[in-house]
Structure 1
Amino acid sequence: MAETVVLRSTFGKFLTLSVIVVVVACLVALGVQGEVDVAVRFVAPLVALAYLVWLVYWAPAVEVSDGGVRLVNVFRRIDLPWPAIERIDTKYALTLFTKYGRFVAWAAPSAGRHRFINTPKEDARGLPESSFIAGTLGQGDLPNTESGDAAAVVRARWESLRDGGHLDSGLLDDAIRPVAWNPVKIATTAVLVAASLASLLVFSGR
């Protein structure tokens, strides 16, 4: 059995930690200065900001295992068994075309055109064969990018199973729905946004 690989945005982690540091620093500064009313007014909005940044930039992930690919997006989790995957694309982000539909990985956006133009050809060596179309590497398949690294892991595992004939023997249940919503994340977002609005409205009237 191959190990499960979990891929998250490096930039997303950096951004989330930076926002958390700023939020904590703001609250501490207000407390030290004795601005208790201001701190109470803005604690909910600041916490909501930190949570939303984590939700959008850190929490999303691409998990690759023996069973298939799991896309953890903002509010949804998509579980795709290997036999269901028909095509892998990276034009705008890692996108899996499957027998259940088309699904985009929030955690793996494509690289910009500037990065593509300035990438040495040697960096493309060793990538899975399905990364190339008519011998050309796609912009979203660049190594050391969010979409490129995720696509390389998915393609390598997918090609290995395909070449071994394991994808042809897979039986899929058409009644299965691969998408599951995350009620905890949805509820937490709603509560924090509501608390933020209430805090700003109540304290602004004082």
Structure 2
Amino acid sequence: MVSAEVVEYRSRFGRVLAVVVGVIGLGALVAGLVSDAGATAPFVAPVALVVLWVWAAYWRPAVVVSPAGVELRNVTRTVELPWPTIERVETKFALTLHTAYGDYAAWAAPAPGRASVAAAGKDAAQNLPPSTYSGGSVGTGDLANSASGQAAIIVRTRWEELRDAGLLDAPAWSG
């Protein structure tokens, strides 16, 4: 049975950062406008641009898994990849989907840094989708406690369901 559920993955860190920067920016503008509107007015546009940039870089990016395929919403571009086009899932630097048409990385799912890898327990490398273990070992980007690993689990689980159901045999792309 293949799932028809749409799953959207976004980095928790990115969302928290975007909210914090938005609240600080809005608070600074309100405080400035209340105390001295004339002196604060020139700073409205720059603060708004910083908040917009943080939204675009850290709130908007997502990996959306649907019955039709995977949508990678990055900072400047959104790519929709139908399931039959995906050949391999990698997490070396970020969640990267390899297709016959090119490789596409997800801004929302970067690989972990050294501190995250060092803090990961043994459970982070267990109970992963079988295609994770294709090389015999699990890469640091595949760990379940990392952004790339969490997104990869979602993508690989659905990809394996479709593969096992025989639905990935005819690659076609209209993009």
Task: Specify if TM > 0.5.
Answer: yes
Structure 2, unpaired ranges of 5+: none
Alpha-carbon shift at residue 37 of structure 1 (Å): 2.0
Counterparts in 2 of 1:74-153, with a 5 A limit? Answer: 74-153=75-154
Q: Percent identity of the aligned residues? A: 47
For residue 31 of structure 1, what is the aligned residue in structure 2? 33
2:8 aligns with 6
| One-letter amino acid of the structure 2 residue matched with residue 117 of structure 1 | A
Larger radius of gyration: 1
Post-superposition offset of 1:23: 1.0
CA contact (8 A) 2:120 2:145 kept: no
TM-score normalised over the length of structure 1: 0.80
What's the offset of the Cα at 1:112?
Answer: 1.1
> Is the contact made by 2:94 and 2:109 (CA closer than 8 Å) also made in structure 1?
yes
- Alpha-carbon offset, residue 24 of structure 1: 1.3
Aligned-CA RMSD value: 1.3
**Offset of 1:131 from its aligned partner?**
1.3
Alignment CA distance shift 1:15-1:154 (3 Å): same
Question: Distance in 2 between the 1:72 and 1:156 partners?
Answer: 20
The runs of 5 or more residues in structure 1 that have no matched partner are: 178-206
Q: Is the 8 A contact 2:5 2:66 kept in 1?
A: yes
Distance 1:122 1:9 in 2: 20
Deviation, structure 1 residue 113: 2.4
Write the deviation string for residues 177-205 of structure 1: whole angstroms up to 9, x where unpaired: 2xxxxxxxxxxxxxxxxxxxxxxxxxxxx
Instruction: Give, in whole Å, the separation in 2 of the partners of 1:111 and 1:87.
Output: 20
Shift of 1:171: 4.3
Q: Indicate the SS of the match to 2:104.
A: strand
